[in-house]
Structures are given as structure tokens and as C-alpha cells.
Structure 1
Amino acid sequence: MTEPDPTADPDSPEGRGGAAATIPAAPPGAGRAGLDRRRILGAAIEFIDGNGLNALTMRRLGAHLGVEAMALYRYVPGREQLLDGVVEAVIDELYGDPDVHLSASHGWQDYLQRLAHGLRRIALAHPEVFPLVATRPPAAPWVRPPLRSLRWVESFLDAMIDSGFTEEAAVSAYRAYSSFLLGHLLLEVSQKGVKIGPEDHPDGVHDSAEATDLGDYPTVVRLEALLSLDESAAEFEEALENLLGRLEVVLRESRTPRRGDPRA
């Protein structure tokens, strides 16, 4: 681990001193003796980070590890199960992040701030993997991305309810929070050139850009320098603060008995 770069985005691997909690992969050439499910998942994450999701096949992953593809099937039945494992492994990196807490021991806003930045660190460390986190069918179909781990959803709901939110308000908070995170982080990784949907082919985007007459958009051309600035960190923080302010209103409203409520 290197010293953090004070000029880098604080949630980026550079801003964290290279601290991307990637699961260790089996050393190249380690053969079957170096394999287990955890190391295979680590190698799959490493492969996707370097080559993109569409390039991942069991055969290529086997070659990446120095083994035949058949050797992998002892630990993962196929590519679909491999992708499920990758999502689980990446989200589980939150457990190794010392700045993310499982409970709201310092208040619900502190809890949500820490969790949001932990997820953003995952997206920035693994931008090629994050769309998979956002789109992979979850174990429970009602769980919204990017919190694919049922343990983290449970932690979230418990933290909100323990902080005074009603169950309905806690669910509303989860929906608003997950929508904010998913929308912002998918947009952010897409700005890095990551494919986030089946229709988003880089070649098609390139051809479309060449066919566009920029003369029709003089303001865009004039403001190119400003539009090209990367304000992701500041925009993330501002949007998060706005969300927390809205949830403060939700909390106050949930504590106000409704007219006609027998509990009033």
C-alpha cells in the first residue's frame, strides 16, 4: 500500500493509497493446488477489471489462472454462478472497509455517509464490475441494487428503525438511498467508458459521435472546458447531503401521528 495522493478523489484507489480490497487470486501458474472458490472469484474480479465483463469466459479465466477450464467447475458450476459469486465477493469488500460500520453507532446519517462512500469506493476500484452488481438478479427479487447482500440490507433497515424510523419510513429511506446510489454510481462508471447496458456498445457510441455535427450545438462547444471537468466527488457529496436532508424530513414526518391513527 502506498501513501494516499492528496490531490486524488478521496474515494478512488489512488486517494486511498491503492487500498482496493480485492480478494487475492491464485498466483499465476499455481495450478490446481492453488485453487479454491475464494481465489477463483478473486481472479474473476481481477480479469473483469482488466478486460471487461464481456471478455470473461470459463476458458479464459482458466487460462488466466494457468489451468484448464474444467478445473474451475469443481468450485463454480458455470459462468452464471461465477457472476453471482463475483457480485457477492465485491459487495463483501464492505466488511473489510474500516470506514464502513455495520450499525449506526454514531447516528443514522453517519452510518449512511460511510456506507455510501464505501459503495462508491467499490465502484471506483472495480468500475467494470459495478454494472454487474447493479444488474445481477439478487437472491431476493425485492432487494434493489446496489446493496445486493441481504446482510447489508438487513443492517440498513435495522439501523434506520433503531434510529427512530418506522418500518414504512425505513423502507422508503432504503428505496431513496439505493436509487440515489445506483443512479449516481452507474453514471459515474459510464463516464469512465464502462459499458452499462447491452445496447451500450463502445463502437456504436464512437460512430454516433463522428456522425454528429457539433456546429448545431455552439454552447456545448463553447463550454467544452467546463463540461469536461471531473466534479464527480463534489457532485456525489452534494447529492448525498441533499438526500440526508430529505430523510431528516421523512424521519420527522414518521414521528408525527397521522390524524385518526389509533396509536396517536
Structure 2
Amino acid sequence: MPDVDELVVAGQERPSDRVPLSRERILASALEFIDEDGLGALTMRRLGARLGVEAMSLYRYVPGREELLDGVVDAMVGELGHDPEVLRRPTHGWQDFLQRLAHGVRRVAIAHPRAFPLVASTPPQAPWLRPPLRSVEWVETFLSGLVADGFSDDQAVAAYRAFTSFLLGNLLLEVSQRGGAVGPLDLVDEEVPPGGLDDAPHVRRLAPRLAEDRALQEFEESLESLIDRISVLVLGTSGA
């Protein structure tokens, strides 16, 4: 990226002169930065340079890095609202409603594998907002949708807990395989462990199969199992 002063010397407008600075623009740029360079490289100074402004100009819209990362999480979760496959209410039954929502969250995770772990590492607005559905808007959508489709309050809350646990576990594992930094789930870049596979003949023989990308199939199978468990919960509780 050319230096801002170089652009000015060349007679070009500063990026900030062409497009007004705003919180939304800052968060979108921060998300792009993380997607391209990783979370560890993000600083207010580098983000300011990307936007063509001094870092101090950003603090008017985001008071600090923690608030910036909170906003990035909100921006990612907010992408669900623009996904045409995600429904706001279960118009075709709660099973279809949950499947569409789950795949929508997965699409967000795959689009932003290096930023998605933030949904688990940044504090939510309230302790009962569980990642990755950690916005009041989407928790309300989830609960109201299930209650409207016949769930009791207890059943809807139990489904929310099971659904979020399933999504977070599966998607953190998947994004770790796509470059996301998720702490102890991080994968080693080496194809073979330092000690080799001489003492692990089964691992050596099955390594090509172990390396197959079956993430989508496993996600769908696990989601079907979750739907089945919720069905048992609802039917068992209702006595049907």
C-alpha cells in the first residue's frame, strides 16, 4: 500500500478525503485488515494508515483497541442480516429455521477465519449472550422464532444453549484449519510431526484420509444430530 504522503505528493486525494470517516468504515477496514494480515498485526496506527488518517482520528469513533475488536465482532455477526438464506422466523418449521441460521453463521466463519475466533475471546454485552449468537438481536430472533413454533420458554433456552455450543465448537475447529488463531486449537504448519511417523504405522497409512477436507459434511451431520436431540427434547417434554 503506498504511503499516504506519497499519494498526496503524486497529486492524489487522501483516502479519507474521498470517503468520510465513520465508525462503520473503520470497523469494515479493521475486519479486512484482520482477514488479510491477522489479528496480531492490527494496531490503531496501522489501521489509520490503511484509512489514510492519523491513529488519533480513529479514537473519535472507537475509544480503543478493545472497543475496536468488539465492533469487529458486531460487524461479523451483523453480516447474518444480509444473508438471504437466513430467515428471521421459522416460516418452514423450526428445523429449517435452525439449519439456515447454522449455515449462515458458518458462512460468516469461513469468510473471516482469522477474525471469527474473536466471537469467543471478546467479552459479550451480557454473560448470558453466548457466542457465536452473541447479539441481543439474534438471540431474540432465535428465541422468538422457536417460541412462535411451539417451544416452551425452557425448551427454547435449552435449544439456544445446545445450538450455540454446537456452533462454537465446530466452527472454531474449522477456522483453525483455515488460519484462525484459536489458542490451543492452533494447528502445526508442518505436514509431519518432528518425531516422524515411524512408530505410528496406522497414522502413516491413513494420513491421506485424515487430511481430507470433510468439514462441510461433518458440520451437516453434526447439525442433523443436534436437530434430532432438540426434537427428542421437545417431544419428550410435551409428551407427544
Distance 1:112 1:207, change over 3 A: closer
Residue 136 (structure 2) pairs with residue 150 (structure 1): yes
> 1:20-67: CA deviations, max 9, x gaps?
xxxxxxxx9412652101000000000000011111110110111111
RMSD (Å) for aligned C-alpha atoms: 2.0
Rounded to whole Å, the distance in 1 between the matches of 2:65 and 2:211 is 38
**Which 5+ residue runs of structure 1 have no aligned equivalent?**
1-27, 258-264
Rounded to whole Å, the distance in 2 between the matches of 1:170 and 1:253 is 14
Rounded to whole Å, the distance in 2 between the matches of 1:194 and 1:129 is 7
From 183, 204, 209, the equivalent of 1:221 is 204
Figure out how many residues of one structure are paired with residues of the other and give that number. Answer: 227
How do 1:168-183 and structure 2 match up within 5 A?
Answer: 168-183=154-169
Structure 1 residue 134: deviation in Å? 2.1
> 1:150-191: CA deviations, max 9, x gaps?
110011111111111111111111111111100000000111
**TM-score, length basis structure 1:** 0.81
Preserved CA contact (<8 Å) 1:164 1:251 = no
Percentage identity across paired residues of the two chains: 56
Preserved CA contact (<8 Å) 1:161 1:170 = yes
1:31 corresponds in structure 2 to 16
From 111, 126, 147, the equivalent of 1:125 is 111
SS of corresponding position for 2:92 = coil
SS of corresponding position for 1:31 = helix
Rounded to whole Å, the distance in 2 between the matches of 1:183 and 1:127 is 14
**Which 5+ residue runs of structure 2 have no aligned equivalent?**
1-12
Rounded to whole Å, the distance in 2 between the matches of 1:138 and 1:193 is 24
SS of corresponding position for 2:88 = coil
Q: Which runs of 4+ in 1 moved over 6 A?
A: none
Structure 1 residue 201: deviation in Å? 6.8
Residue 232 (structure 2) pairs with residue 249 (structure 1): yes
Rounded to whole Å, the distance in 2 between the matches of 1:212 and 1:240 is 36
From 192, 211, 226, the equivalent of 2:178 is 192
1:108 corresponds in structure 2 to 94
